């Protein structure tokens, strides 16, 4: 499903942190609020009763840490509810040039994955 360019993607409240730096592109990305660091999303696992018992016995972690790559980290930081999807695409194209081409399809695919994981909503 293609994300409409006039919609506004907004991160839902969840725990996330900034990890290590991706390099030295901060001159290009800083004016847009992109830190150029890896975003790690922390998701609490929702176990059923039996799964919970097995998880305790096996000492399974209660949280899933989901590290994002460079482009998805930048996209995550841009989805703050202040920019339309079209503006986000323009920023991604300006900052990452050939690395993001075709920007609309790649950003749309990533936003759809975030939607399926219930990490993002779209405002129209």
pLDDT digit string, tens, across residues 75-123: 999 999 999 999 999 999 998 888 888 999 999 999 999 999 999 999 9
d(CA 56, CA 70): 34
Check residue 21 and give its pLDDT.
84
Residue 3 exposed, middle or buried by CB count within 10 Å (0-12, 13-18, 19+): buried
Check residue 25 and give its pLDDT.
65
pLDDT digit string, tens, across residues 12-66: 999 999 988 877 666 677 788 888 889 999 998 888 999 989 989 999 998 999 9
Quick one: tokens of 117? 């994981």
Instruction: Count the alpha carbons within 13 Å of 53 in the hemisphere toward its beta carbon.
Output: 2
């Amino acid at each position: 499903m293609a994300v409409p360019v006039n919609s506004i993607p907004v991160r839902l409240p969840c725990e996330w942190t900034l990890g290590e730096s991706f390099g030295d592109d901060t001159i290009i990305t800083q004016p847009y609020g992109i830190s150029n660091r890896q975003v790690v999303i922390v998701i609490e696992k929702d176990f059923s009763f039996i799964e919970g018992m097995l998880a305790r016995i096996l000492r399974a972690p209660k949280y899933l840490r989901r590290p994002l790559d460079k482009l998805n980290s930048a996209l995550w930081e841009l989805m703050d509810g202040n920019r339309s999807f079209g503006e986000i695409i323009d920023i991604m194209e300006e900052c990452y040039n050939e690395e993001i081409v075709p920007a609309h399809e790649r950003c749309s695919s990533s936003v759809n994955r975030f939607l399926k994981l219930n990490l993002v909503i779209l405002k129209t």
